[in-house]
Amino acid sequence: MEFVDSLEGTSPPFDLELASLGDDVWATRRPGEQGWYLPVAFTKRPDGRGYLSYGARATPKIA
């Protein structure tokens, strides 16, 4: 994961391990963290654009 736009530079890029909870719904947490997992969902908006919803943030797919 790499932050861009207004969050760029706030954290170095890092990999996330995803545990499947169902169709297009996953759980993850940042490497080395203990405790609660964050929900992750891959969604499409009505206009067809893909998004990644991670925690409370929805981010457009750019790659």
Segments making up each domain of the chain, as ranges: 5-60
Q: What's the confidence (pLDDT) of residue 1?
A: 63
Q: What's the confidence (pLDDT) of residue 32?
A: 80
- CB count, 10 Å around CB of 7? 11
Q: What's the confidence (pLDDT) of residue 46?
A: 92
* Residues 43 and 60 sit within 8 Å (Cβ to Cβ): no
Average pLDDT of each block of 10 consecutive residues along the chain (63 residues)?
Answer: 67 79 86 81 90 82 77
Q: What's the confidence (pLDDT) of residue 15?
A: 76
| Residues paired with 60 in a beta bridge | 51
